[in-house]
Structure 1
């Protein structure tokens, strides 16, 4: 992939993320804080961004979002490596509980 293509894809991902984040924040702020893993202050800033501001922010060469699953346990639960499909719901619920606990500690 060429650098220009990578930067264009980063801009697209950033804009999509900002639009989704703003939509979630406006629809249900508490749920958005949890799902996005952002603070109230960050949510307040995203909430008031104009379309022009979102385009400008999205044009940076760095991804705005990041992976929040930073350990093997959560990744294993989400991917269900080596587990039967019947346990998929339980594994996803367990992963959600673990990530919710981390959100609660960060807030």
Structure 2
């Protein structure tokens, strides 16, 4: 895989993430804040972005989203296929809810 392919893939992921996040916030703000792991301040910023601003942000070659599962227990709960899927995902959601949200610095 070429470096340019990787950068293009990152830009596509950024665009999809920003559009999804904005749509989620507009549809159900409380659920979006929880599911995205963001603060109300970040939600306000994302909701107010114009299409041009979203395209500009998405064109960065740096991944804009971050993974919430930064510990092995949460990762295991989401990836483990041996447990009943629903119970593992509920437990993972509870653990994720206790993690600090992303804020604007």
TM norm structure 2: 0.89
- Which runs of no fewer than 5 residues in structure 2 stay unpaired? none
The structure whose RCO (Cα within 8 Å, separation 6+) is larger is 2
User: How far apart are residue 90 of structure 1 and its match?
Assistant: 1.1
What count of residue pairs does the alignment treat as equivalent?
A: 102
Q: Deviations over 1:11-56 (max 9, x none)?
A: 1100000000000010111111111111111111111111111000
Match of 1:19 in 2: 19
Q: Who wins on radius of gyration, i.e. which is larger?
A: 1
Q: CA RMSD in A?
A: 1.5
**Partner Cα separation in structure 2 for residue 80 and residue 67 of structure 1:** 17
- Which runs of no fewer than 5 residues in structure 1 stay unpaired? none
Runs of 4+, deviation exceeding 3 Å: none
> Which structure is higher in helix share?
1
